[in-house]
Structure 1
Amino acid sequence: MGPTSFAPGVMPPGADYRFELFGAQAHEHRVRCEEALAALDDGASYERVVLTANIVAALLDIDPGAAAARAEEVRRMAEEVGTPAARAYGLVVHGLTDHAPATVAARVDEARRILATAYEGHAPELASVGHFLLLTGLLEHGKLRALDIEMSPYGESITRFPHLEHARHVAWFRCLRLILDGRSADAERLADAILASADENQRVASRSVWAAQIGTIRWMQGRILEMEPTFLAARQAHPKQQLWAVALAWLWQLQGREAAARALYVECSDFATIPRDHNFLVTATILAQLAAKIGTRAQAEALRDALLPYASQLVSAGFGLAFWGTIARTLGMLAIRLGRPDEARSLFGTAIEVCARSGAQAWLAEAQLELADLELTVGGDPAEAAALARQAEATALALDFPELLARAEAMLAGLPRGMEAPRARPDAPAEERGRPRISVLGAFDVVAADGSRPRWTSRKARALLKLLVARRGVSASREEFMHELWPDVDPDALANRFSVALSTVRRALDPRRAFLTDAFIIATGPGLHLDLATVGVDVEEFLAEAQADDVDALRRAVRLYAGDAFAEEPYADWAEPLRQRAQTAFCVAAHALARHEVRAGQPLVASELYRRILDIEPDDRRAHDQLLVTLTALGATSQARSLLLRQQLIEEELIS
């Protein structure tokens, strides 16, 4: 099951259609769907929703605007039909056509809703596309831990849909994770194996994904100049995708072919013409890197204005199957081009933080070298530059990044002799041994007392542990837990099943049975509760930090908030109280921290905090107004105007 053909759609009797995104198969499939659509009666129907959704997918590569228009048609019909399956198709087309960075949090939530609907049996054929959209959103959102969990055998999705473990899209994302980890040889072997295993119908899309991933691998290996034939072939195969023309110009500029690079850059330098499709962000990012090198000041200003609000995001290509670093590094390059060293320093620092958090090793070293070079160029701290260059050198040496290693060595060789790097900050304390850890923010994860991760064989046991976390250490009767787990079964008939589920949870927390039975889950008479003194829970740690009257604690809280609590349980009533409490605590903490950052002269950091607040509370007028202030302070005037217009439209809709 690959990214070009997610799953058979539920069609009129006898039909067997698949979502097709690329090549001749997509065109032929769209024609068949249009013919089937013409044969249906007028008016909204489930069959019309499904057929039009397939047409949307087939239009993505050739006409993103038409695809978006048809997607709106699907969503309207889906609401009119009103069934869970129809609404799930509406969410699918939204995920396929909406690539705005500002909507990524909502799209992750919608992907989880697609999976929940598929699991409930309403549209099981959408499990694969729902999972694909979830992985795409998590990568775009920088939620790499949640991404890893969703690709693992013990993750929520693969536990519910075991066939996804060997799906083609999961293999591509695993290749991407190898790339991020810096394991270029392993990533190349996997990319080649996936391409070799593609059948004729999958070949066009697989070749495109392979080209993007191999291009990144070759950059890591110091062999990016070898990619020119592949980029040329991709440009010919996908003439409507501006990405490949921009990538070629970037490659030629890197080769020193200034005239050729400049000519191609001029041809595609109009930011407004970039299609708002799945390659929009990576195309704009590469274009901005070219503008920083060979563009005009006006072009650099315009691209800075457009990209600045998304400084904390990773840059994925395609539907998240390839990677181009961070927006922040590119913005740092633009800031240097515009003569704003302080802004560049802040942005390179953001790039380092984002790469470190996501484990993007090569890009971490690259950002460290960018900041080190800036410190040396503008008369900054040479000792800090030395420390950054040494860290980059160590990474490049350990993971065999020859170009980055050569750059780091050259930088260090140019420093005065005897210069000592400042002492590195001590690492965060290692996890206490013998203390299980449960994560529910962003994605559900469990690390047992021995450091292992359980592979859940019982969905009820997994759900029981979530229920215990949601109770926050407060005891509840076995009957209450039984009612949540088996709502339609008489509790008198459930004693044995509940005991098995409880035993499974205890074994998951302590697989070696090194502790007493009640060490982590305490039974008091008829009740049970999780012992928060012996079990680490991320949401509890977050709430404690968020309530502290201390800037450092607030920063820790913001870092801990990886997403909504129990995000994979969007419809569970028991999850809502803790989810809402955590959301409220985050918004309060983020407001307080943003005010501090504004006072400290860090409007960029503050703007990201206000955006995160608006992801949770779109109607938070204070966050909206302060985001306008920070965007204006940053000079992102067009983004400020767009935000103001959007708020006015929302208010008009509410009034009407």
Structure 2
Amino acid sequence: MAVRATGAELAVVQALATAGVGAGLTARLTGDRSAGIGQLTEALRLADSVGDLGLAAWARINLAAARSGVAGYREAVTDAAEAVELAEVAGHPSMLALALAVRGAGLARLGRLDEATADYERSVTVHQRIGSAHIALPLIGLGQLHLMRGRDSLSRAAYEEAVRVSEPRGNLFALVPALAGLAVVVARVDPTAATALAERALELARGPHAIVARCALGWVAVSVPDLPRAARLAAEAEDLARLHQDRAGLAEALRLRAAAADGDPQSARQALLEAGAILREVGARIEADRVCVLVGQLPGAGAADRINARVAAARLAEAEVVDLARAGPERQAAKVVVRTLGRFEVRVDGHPVPTSAWQSRKARDLLRILAARRGRPVSREQLAELLWPDEEPGRVGHRLSVLLSLLRGVLDPRRRGPLDRYVVAERASVALDVEQVELDVELFQAEALLGLRRFERGETTLAQDILGLAEQRYQGDFLVDDPYDDWAVPVRDEMRRLYLRVVRALAELARHRGDQEQAAHQLRRALDAEPYDERTHEDLISVLTSAGRYGEADEAHRRYQRAMAVLGVPVRRTR
């Protein structure tokens, strides 16, 4: 319990605490972050010892800011939250406004964007009420959040206001990041003006802010584009980030390095993987997901990288974060989409291909056969047998060539790409290029198998996300609207079995987290796809019974009995 100090004692402790904060800030500027946190921790101990709430809040604000500087965002949020409470109790609005801004910064890094926005907006309101000059800090935070969510006009307005209020007072602590943030926003419409803003930020920057300024100027260079300059700035920012023990700054510099690695996807990948590892380690979830998306967009990205990118993109969309796509060479989004799970559909440039565009049903059948092979070559002889089963394969070679021409015309009606962009025809075989064509059955299989591997390894959160993608992609059995083609049956059966494994795994994950409703939903979906799976019947009855839903459990048991009766199999005693 703190003991109320005398006036003289309080003055001494205040002086010592002030010295501690000053020493901590100096240590941060010179790159000795650990020493800075040590000095600030001692300042906090001294402030607490005298029971001065304002002093205690002030010490926590500075310690939280220092922890954020070394990417200790969780601890920073805790310290800042305590500072908010102390400032509210003490009735100290200036401390409250600062504490809210610092907590908002930590929450934003942790991906808790709505909470961060609320803190920043409340901080702005308090600053405005008391006429504080420190209002630039929450404005910068709002500018960053608006930028992440694609609200460029709001972002620019926040940064411009931060520049306006900090510039007359020479407040470089706020002016430099405000100029840097403004430069990144402006670069999208006026690279020349953005360059001037970023260069001014770099001229004024001192200590860790030099990392922010160099990265901003580097992103502007990417937009010009001037990639050699961007690469130099990235290298300088990396060196400074290591000097100042700034892990978040290092991750940003690495992302910039990837953006400057034009034509070298391997170097870009290496930089992005290092950046992603740093961001995941410090808990910067949103930034880590953005890096993950970029890795999946690199030329030559593997199936796992592309799936992880889709999972990350889904999380970003849920958080209302736009894919700024500012870094790295990117794989162009597929212009041709082929849907085979459920009703067959082809989309080109986002528009469905009408039946009239095919000119020949055989051309459509050719695409369906190639889709069933999922990128693996099919011999011309086999294609001839499947398309013209009653004729000699040697007599239909010309017809196959005509169908290939028709198919290519459907997939690339404007002839914008090379002849074999979507369909690769060799002398003896033909294949669909699944790197250029988005084929749902191929994506479903890759997502399902990766998700099941994660599930078997006990990586429940990642497994849930990936398996959820696979479940959503499965819109029905393979080519269900053409059920009589024998060549489609093996793929249809294989994908249905895989789908059952996916929904059963999702049901198990739901049971593990105590969500019996979701578990029952998944098991019912499994039974809709395969009504005679005995184990699924038993699991559904068990889930409903455990949830106390005895009427539904009884109905599930009757459904089980009917299914087994069809098979002539005796019903086992359910769990």
TM (normalized to structure 2)?
Answer: 0.49
Greater RCO, 1 or 2 (C-alpha within 8 Å, sep 6+) = 1
Which one has the largest radius of gyration? 2
TM (normalized to structure 1)?
Answer: 0.43
